[in-house]
Structure 1
Amino acid sequence: MTTDRLATVTDGATTTGRLGSGDTGAPSTRRARGIRPTAREPRPVADRGTLTGTGRLLRFMLRRDRIRLPSWTLGLTALLAYFANALQLVFPTAADLEAFSAFSSNPAAALLMGPGFGDAEPTLAVFLTSTYGLYLIIGAALMSILTVVRHTRLEEQSGRAELVRANVIGRHAPLTAALVMAALMNVVVAMLMTLLLIGLGFDPAGSAVFGASVGAAGLAFAGITATTVQLTSFPRTASGIAGAVLGAAFLVRGLGDMSTAQGGDLGWLTWLSPIGWSQQAAPFIDDAWWALAISIGCFALFAALGYALAARRDLAAGLVAPRRGHASAPAWLSSPFALAVRLQRASLIGWTASLFAGGIVYGAFTQAMLEGFADAPPELLVLFGGEEDLLTGYLGMMGLLFALTSTIYAILAMQSVKSEETDGRTEAVLAASVGRPGWLGSWLAATALGVVLLLVSAGLGTAIGAAVSTGEGELFGDVFLGHVAHAPAVWVTLAIAAALYGAVPRLVALTWFVFGYAFLLGFFGPLLDAPDWAVDLSPFEHIGEYPGEELSGVAIMVLTGIAAALGAASLALFRRRDLITA
Structure 2
Amino acid sequence: MTLTAVQEPTRAPASHSAGSVLAGTGTLIRFILRVDRVKLPAWLLGISLLLFQLATAASSLMETEQQREDVSRFMEGAAGAIFGPGYGRDDITPDLYVAGVYGLMFFILAAIMSMQLVARHTRVDEQSGRAELLRSNVVGRYAQLTAVLIVAVGANALLALMLGGVMSAKGFGGADGLLFGAGVAAVGLVFAGITALTVQVTEYARAATAMAGATLGGAWAVRAAGDMMNDYGSALSWFSPLAWSNQTRPYVDGRWWPLLLSVGFAAVVAAVGYALSGRRDVGAGLVAARVGTPVAAPWLSSPLAVAFRLQRASLFWWTAALAIFGFMFGGLADQITDAEGISEDRIEMFGGSLDTLADGYLGVITLFTASLAGIMVVLGVQAARAEETQGRAEPLLSTAISRSAWFGGYLAVLAIGLIGLLLVVGFTAGIGAALSVGDASYIGELTLAHLAHVPAVLVLLGLAAMLFGVLPRAIGAVWVVLSLGLFVGLFGTLLDVPQWLRNMLPTEHTGQPPLDSISWPAMGILLVIAAGLMAAGLVAFRRRDLETK
Return the TM-score normalized by structure 2: 0.92
In the other structure, the counterpart of 1:74 is: 45
**1:559/1:267 Cα in 2 relative to 1: closer, same or farther (>3 Å)?**
farther
Distance in 2 between residues matched to 1:180 and 1:376, nearest whole Å: 48
In the other structure, the counterpart of 2:55 is: 84
State whether structure 2 residue 286 is matched by structure 1 residue 319: yes
**1:398/1:127 Cα in 2 relative to 1: closer, same or farther (>3 Å)?**
closer
Cα distance per residue 1:145-179 (max 9 Å; x no partner)? 11111111111111111111122222222111111
| Aligned 1:447-462 pairs, distance under 5 A | 447-462=414-429
Root-mean-square deviation over aligned CA pairs: 2.5
In the other structure, the counterpart of 1:30 is: none
1:380, 1:527 within 8 Å by CA — same for their partners in 2?
no
In the other structure, the counterpart of 1:227 is: 197
1:114, 1:131 within 8 Å by CA — same for their partners in 2?
yes
> How far 1:370 moved relative to its partner?
4.1
In the other structure, the counterpart of 1:415 is: 382
2:69, 2:341 within 8 Å by CA — same for their partners in 1?
no
State whether structure 2 residue 356 is matched by structure 1 residue 389: yes
> How far 1:284 moved relative to its partner?
1.7
2:96, 2:252 within 8 Å by CA — same for their partners in 1?
yes
Q: Residue 52 of structure 1 aligns to a residue in which SS?
A: coil
Distance in 2 between residues matched to 1:21 and 1:526, nearest whole Å: 91
* Greater shift in the superposed pair: 495-504 or 383-392: 383-392
Cα distance per residue 1:204-263 (max 9 Å; x no partner)? 2212211211111111111122222222221122222222222333343334334434x9
| Aligned 1:322-471 pairs, distance under 5 A | 322-371=289-338, 374-386=340-352, 387-471=354-438
In the other structure, the counterpart of 2:473 is: 506
In the other structure, the counterpart of 1:31 is: none
**1:234/1:119 Cα in 2 relative to 1: closer, same or farther (>3 Å)?**
closer
| Aligned 1:473-492 pairs, distance under 5 A | 473-492=440-459
| Aligned 1:48-447 pairs, distance under 5 A | 49-88=20-59, 91=62, 95=65, 98-100=68-70, 102-107=72-77, 109-111=79-81, 113-261=83-231, 267-371=234-338, 374-386=340-352, 387-447=354-414
Supply the AA of the counterpart residue of 1:521: V
Distance in 2 between residues matched to 1:124 and 1:356, nearest whole Å: 31
**1:526/1:252 Cα in 2 relative to 1: closer, same or farther (>3 Å)?**
farther
> How far 1:449 moved relative to its partner?
0.9
Q: Residue 495 of structure 2 aligns to a residue in which SS?
A: coil
Distance in 2 between residues matched to 1:350 and 1:87, nearest whole Å: 32
> How far 1:433 moved relative to its partner?
0.5
Distance in 1 between residues matched to 2:504 and 2:486, nearest whole Å: 12
> How far 1:439 moved relative to its partner?
1.1
Q: Residue 49 of structure 1 aligns to a residue in which SS?
A: helix
Supply the AA of the counterpart residue of 1:289: W
Q: Which runs of 5+ in 2 are unaligned?
A: none
Distance in 2 between residues matched to 1:64 and 1:43, nearest whole Å: 36
> How far 1:491 moved relative to its partner?
1.0
State whether structure 2 residue 494 is matched by structure 1 residue 532: no
2:74, 2:336 within 8 Å by CA — same for their partners in 1?
no
Q: Residue 389 of structure 1 aligns to a residue in which SS?
A: helix
Distance in 2 between residues matched to 1:359 and 1:124, nearest whole Å: 27
Q: Residue 476 of structure 2 aligns to a residue in which SS?
A: helix
Q: Which runs of 5+ in 1 are unaligned?
A: 1-19, 28-41
Supply the AA of the counterpart residue of 1:81: F
2:427, 2:444 within 8 Å by CA — same for their partners in 1?
no
> How far 1:189 moved relative to its partner?
0.8
Distance in 1 between residues matched to 2:472 and 2:372, nearest whole Å: 23
> How far 1:413 moved relative to its partner?
0.9
Return the TM-score normalized by structure 1: 0.87
Distance in 2 between residues matched to 1:125 and 1:45, nearest whole Å: 54
In the other structure, the counterpart of 1:32 is: none
Q: Residue 319 of structure 1 aligns to a residue in which SS?
A: coil
2:81, 2:228 within 8 Å by CA — same for their partners in 1?
yes
Distance in 2 between residues matched to 1:378 and 1:79, nearest whole Å: 25
Cα distance per residue 1:93-116 (max 9 Å; x no partner)? 574753245325422541464322
> How far 1:450 moved relative to its partner?
1.3
Distance in 2 between residues matched to 1:57 and 1:510, nearest whole Å: 28
* Greater shift in the superposed pair: 282-291 or 130-139: 130-139
1:340, 1:442 within 8 Å by CA — same for their partners in 2?
yes
Q: Residue 248 of structure 2 aligns to a residue in which SS?
A: coil
> How far 1:62 moved relative to its partner?
0.7
Distance in 2 between residues matched to 1:413 and 1:402, nearest whole Å: 17
Larger Rg: 1
Supply the AA of the counterpart residue of 1:285: V
Distance in 1 between residues matched to 2:461 and 2:312, nearest whole Å: 18
> How far 1:43 moved relative to its partner?
9.1
In the other structure, the counterpart of 1:547 is: 514
Supply the AA of the counterpart residue of 1:145: M
- Identity among equivalent positions (%) equals 42
Pairs aligned (count): 544
Q: Residue 233 of structure 1 aligns to a residue in which SS?
A: coil
**1:89/1:523 Cα in 2 relative to 1: closer, same or farther (>3 Å)?**
closer
Distance in 1 between residues matched to 2:531 and 2:264, nearest whole Å: 49
Distance in 2 between residues matched to 1:365 and 1:94, nearest whole Å: 25
Distance in 1 between residues matched to 2:399 and 2:157, nearest whole Å: 49
Cα distance per residue 1:73-130 (max 9 Å; x no partner)? 1221222223334544565x57475324532542254146432245554433223333
Distance in 2 between residues matched to 1:343 and 1:203, nearest whole Å: 48
> How far 1:288 moved relative to its partner?
1.1
Distance in 2 between residues matched to 1:525 and 1:366, nearest whole Å: 21
Supply the AA of the counterpart residue of 2:421: L
Supply the AA of the counterpart residue of 2:538: L
Distance in 1 between residues matched to 2:326 and 2:317, nearest whole Å: 14
